[in-house]
Structure 1
Amino acid sequence: MSFALVILEAHGQRAERGQACGEAAYAAMLAFADDLRERGQLVLAQALATAQQRHLDGRWTDGPFTEAKEFLGGIFLLQNVSRAEAQAIATACPAAAWATVELRELGPCFT
């Protein structure tokens, strides 16, 4: 089965962390991804940049655009894991210490 770990972070949290804490968090996430990759369970791991929106007049605006407490900070796409394994991986994700980690099963696309 395939799953996505969706990392939802509080607005402003990265800036409040400070450089040393941010670097430690980044290193922990890289090690987490490397471990999943070595086990053949990781398809993709990406942090996400700030969202942008294009207006009809051609202007771009930085987001997020909805009233929300959290923003999408990154994703991990997992493959060849059971639901129980995916839940264990989500629990072990270092981001769970400072963010919400959602687990979503991936399904087929319908056209």
Structure 2
Amino acid sequence: MSYALVILEAHGARADRGLEGGQAAYAAMLAFAQQLKERGQLVMTQALSTEQTRVRRSAQGVEVLDGPFTEAKELVGGIFVLQNVDRDQALRIAAECPAAAWATVELRALGPCFT
């Protein structure tokens, strides 16, 4: 089965880490991704920018809203897409993720949206 690990960070967490802390966190995440790749469990991973834009469509047209969005307490900092794992394995991988030390790692099964 396939799963996504969604890294949810508090607003400002990256800035609070500073340059040295950010570089150390990034290196840990790269090493983690490499381990998953070597085990054949990683489809892809990507850090996400803190810039945010929302697009909404209604009968009145399309509305584009640029962030930051003050109502959001967290932002999606990155994702890992896993393959060839069951739920228990995915939970163990989420617990091993370095980001679990400074962020929330949310586990989501991938599948059809109509079930």
TM-score, length basis structure 2: 0.85
Q: 1:65 Cα deviation (Å)?
A: 3.0
Gaps of 5+ in 1: none
TM-score, length basis structure 1: 0.88
Gaps of 5+ in 2: none
Structure 1 residue aligned with 2:76 = 72
Q: Choose from 103, 106, 111 the match for 1:102.
A: 106
Report matched runs for 1:25-104 at 5 Å: 25-49=25-49, 50-53=51-54, 62-65=66-69, 67-104=71-108
Counterpart CA distance in 1 for 2:68 and 2:38 is 34
Larger strand share, 1 or 2: 2
Q: Percent identity?
A: 69
Moved segments of 4+, more than 6 Å: none
The RMSD of aligned alpha carbons is 2.4
Distance 1:8 1:35, change over 3 A: same
Letter in 2 for 1:27: A
